[in-house]
Amino acid sequence: MDDKIYLSSPHMSDEGYEMKYIKEAFDTNWIAPLGKNVEEFENEIAAMVGSKAAAALSSGTAAIHLALKAAGVERGDIVFCPSLTFS
């Protein structure tokens, strides 16, 4: 069987809305991990949820790690999480 079923395949809109931002990132050499677009995204998310700040992270694993640190979880603590976490 050659057909693949992707769990989370990359996707761009049919209209190409993303191309402007991708081109800008390459043109300004702000590809990763920060830049104007990331900062604007964080500010918009913070405003949308009524928070002082937001952090865009590179992966779900990084998000789980940051959440555990922020919650004060330390070595030896017991943490329950789903078995499918991508971490």
Output the pTM of the full model: 0.64
pLDDT tens for 46-65 read 999 999 999 999 888 888 89
Q: End-to-end CA distance of the chain, in Å?
A: 28
- Token pair of 3 as six digits: 């057909």
pLDDT tens for 2-47 read 788 877 777 888 898 889 888 888 898 877 777 788 899 999 999 9
Q: What is the chain written as a DSSP string?
A: ------SS-----TT-HHHHHHHHHHHHT--SS--HHHHHHHHHHHHHHT-S-----S-HHHHHHHHHHHTT--TT------S----
